[in-house]
Amino acid sequence: MKLEVVILGAGQGTRMKSSLPKVLHLVAGMPLLEHVVKTAQVLEPAAIHVVIGHGGDQVCDALARYDINWVVQEQQLGTGHAVRQALPAVSSDSTVLVLYGDVPLTRLSTLQQLVHQAQDGPALLTAELQNPNGYGRILRDENGTLLGVVEDKDATPSQRRIQEVNTGLLAAPCRDFQEYLPLVENNNQQGEFYLPDILSLAVAAGKVVKSCIAESALEILGVNDRVQLNQVEREVQRRQAEQLMRDGVSIADSGRLDIRGSLSCAEDVSIDVNVVFEGTVQLGPGVSIGANCVLSDVSVGEGSVVHPMSHLQGTVVGNNCSVGPYARLRPGTVLADGARVGNFVETKKANIGAGSKVNHLSYIGDCEMGAEVNIGAGTITCNYDGVNKHKTEIGQGVFVGSNSTLVAPLLIEDQGFVAAGSTVTTKVAKGDLAVSRTRQRNIQGWKRPRKPDTKD
């Protein structure tokens, strides 16, 4: 029997105190709903249906790259009502798995077990909680057979002492949903149509409702406020860090690492504390990332070192390079093998050649730089004239002295030499020395200015 997934994501999330739909709040750099969709995709369903309501257009836009059938729930009348909105698009011969857009931590293995249990009838994911307040309780007979779910607000005092709770995640043949959902009533304190009510209806019809239990309370943790959002964030980060360490990555402190996107690491990678990875980041063998770095959409080649306090964005770093400390590499920067970019250096749209060095206090933007170039401290490429950006081209083996200003558009050919303190505005031919500074004068007998004496 083929599988289809229905994800409920129509809630407003008033406790988030935000204009952003709840399912779009970020965990590890991705919307809550995207985490659920990505997990569902691994199950290889025939279709994924997402029920939306509050901020539906924003939700659709945020996940536009996914193949999703969007279902609009105009009025939020409960989980049973939400699933009914999706049923017309679901094939009658499918097994339907119901997930929640604000519950991102359920493990794939748990969902696979739940789907397996639901081949012939409904199956429910339950959990054992020390403090079950707020959750619906699982009702069983003396033989342990599941009879149904009673919501917390509708439960008797004895039922509230039950610690096995309803997670809301369930699966069943589509025909069961089609048969029982129209019979669900809203005669409860909330006046809502509860999805779990189909379980007691199935039992009354002579069906056996199966169940499986979550490994931990974290698997069923839903996000209703920013405290829970932070709990989910830390758990996702913990899982990612542990997997990296199992894969051979050295992490100085797994509690001080944030991955807000996709991070892939080769063997013998080392990551120090307070490092943030955003977007897509790839680290080659033996790469070392120092403390307090931020890497966004970056590739770092084998044996390269990113020293502490550096920020790399949209950058390709070759093999055996050195970056930082306190370096900022902006989008379009490419470092060839063995290049060095040192402390308080900023680059942008700069191709820095093999073995070239920009070691101190410099700005290199819109620049093509050859191999074995030395850029002295305090050098800048003046790439912007107030209207347009212009390019600086620096050949191989060029030496640029400290505190030089290279005014683009500019070409410095191979083996060119720029004397320290020069402002270069015209082409420097191969092997030439460019000097552009006034002659020094020493004034003898010069007296320093002094403040006038003051009297009371």
Q: Are strands 137-140 and 123-128 parallel, antiparallel or unpaired?
A: unpaired
Residue 177 buriedness (CB in 10 A; 0-12 / 13-18 / 19+): buried
So what's the pLDDT on residue 455? Answer: 65
Cβ atoms of residues 193 and 177 within 8 Å: no
Q: Are strands 123-128 and 164-173 parallel, antiparallel or unpaired?
A: antiparallel
CATH architecture of 226-434: 3 Solenoid (2.160)
So what's the pLDDT on residue 11? Answer: 84
Which tokens is 193 given?
A: 């149509």
Residue numbers in the chain where pLDDT is lower than 70: 454-456
CA distances 421 to 377, 401, 439, Å, are 10, 7, 12
Distance CA 27, CA 36 (A): 11
Helix 108-117 and helix 32-42, axial crossing angle in degrees, nearest 10 = 60
Residue-wise burial string across 313-329, b where 16 or more C-beta atoms lie within 10 A, e elsewhere: bebbbbbbbbbbbbbbb
So what's the pLDDT on residue 288? Answer: 98
CA dihedral sign, ordered 205, 211, 230, 227: positive
Q: Is 81 a catalytic residue?
A: no
Question: Please, what CATH class does the domain formed by 3-220 belong to?
Answer: alpha beta
Distance CA 218, CA 225 (A): 15
List of residues 6+ apart from 98 with CB closer than 8 A? 5, 6, 7, 8, 79, 83, 168, 169, 170, 171, 195
So what's the pLDDT on residue 436? Answer: 94
Cβ atoms of residues 302 and 287 within 8 Å: yes
List of residues 6+ apart from 431 with CB closer than 8 A? 413, 414, 415, 416, 417
So what's the pLDDT on residue 190? Answer: 82
Cβ atoms of residues 310 and 325 within 8 Å: yes
From its phi and psi, is residue 372 left (phi > 0), alpha (psi between -120 and 50) or beta? left
Residue boundaries of the structural domains of the chain: 3-220, 226-434
Q: Name the catalytic one among 35, 81, 311, 360.
A: 360
So what's the pLDDT on residue 454? Answer: 67
Distance CA 141, CA 423 (A): 88
